Structure 1
Amino acid sequence: MPRIPLVPLHWHLPAHPTSVRRARHAVTASLPHALRPDLGDDLGLLTSELVTNAILHGADGKDGDLIELVLWPADGHYWLAVSDPGNGKPALAHPSTDAENGRGLLLVDHIAAAWTVRPRPTRGTSVVAGLSYR
């Protein structure tokens, strides 16, 4: 009989700055207690950066815009997908040393074992990042 995988955790949050803290807390609190010391800080940072980017660059400011988060373990990683209704393709930037922003995906690139950007089947964009727990 095949091993049945865990059901991914799934949240919808308003595309509003207050959702960044809620998302970070929900995701890190969902980790098994034994993994929180190793993954909690990095997963919290990934969540904050990806949700912030989704709100700033992927939502169009309508009241009904939602950010979707999905968290699941697979292949020795915890995977986080953050999706927004926008059609942009997030890309690494290399801001000047005096720039006040533009470093979010650089942090994601440094922390994550792997990450990618995927278009959604109907509308929007997802950024998927994985952290190794082995």
Structure 2
Amino acid sequence: MFAQRLSATRRGARLARMLAVHQLDQWGFPYGSPVSEAVALVVAELAANAVLHGRVPGRDFELRLHRAPGHVRVELSDTHPAHPVLPALDPAAEGGRGLLLVDAVATRWGTAARTGPGKTVWAECATRES
């Protein structure tokens, strides 16, 4: 398992993505591999949501990665109580596609309660290993 607390800033979101692909490389999923690319996208979108929508002043967010047979689970926890909802696709919208991307790339995703304030948003990406 990998866990890291990061500042709820754009820099923290960028660092979360970089740390995730580094950890995947350490686990044997090289940079640029399909698994690395999928997890990088999921982490980038969930971290951006934590910074833009889940930010509570003075509070960080936490990234956790779990390697399990057949998938990597990404968990991102923030202290904002609102749970994300998958939006309807609006081709005219300039934003709001992050969860649609997560839904397309991950095998499944959802939210969970956490100890303390806020929630955890999680997503699982297939690794095609047994």
Common fold by TM > 0.5: yes
| Structure 1 residue 113, shift from structure 2 partner | 0.7
| Structure 1 residue 75, shift from structure 2 partner | 3.3
1:30 maps to a residue whose letter is Q
| Structure 1 residue 96, shift from structure 2 partner | 2.2
1:12–1:68 contact (8 Å) kept in structure 2: yes
Aligned to 1:5: none
1:18 maps to a residue whose letter is R
- Are residue 132 (structure 1) and residue 122 (structure 2) matched? no
Structure 1: runs of 5 or more not aligned: 1-7
1:38-67 alpha-carbon deviations (Å, 9 max, x no partner): 31111111000000001111112x1x2101
Number of residues paired by the alignment?
Answer: 125
Larger Rg: 1
1:25 maps to a residue whose letter is M
Structure 2: runs of 5 or more not aligned: none
Aligned to 1:49: 45
| 1:1-134 equivalences in 2 (<5 Å) | 8-32=1-25, 34-36=28-30, 37-60=33-56, 62=57, 64-134=58-128
Give TM-score scaled by structure 2 length.
0.90
| Structure 1 residue 95, shift from structure 2 partner | 4.3
Query: Identity, % of aligned pairs?
Result: 34
CA distance in 2, matches of 1:17, 1:65: 14
CA distance in 2, matches of 1:59, 1:73: 27
Structure 1 stretches of 4+ with a deviation exceeding 4 A read none
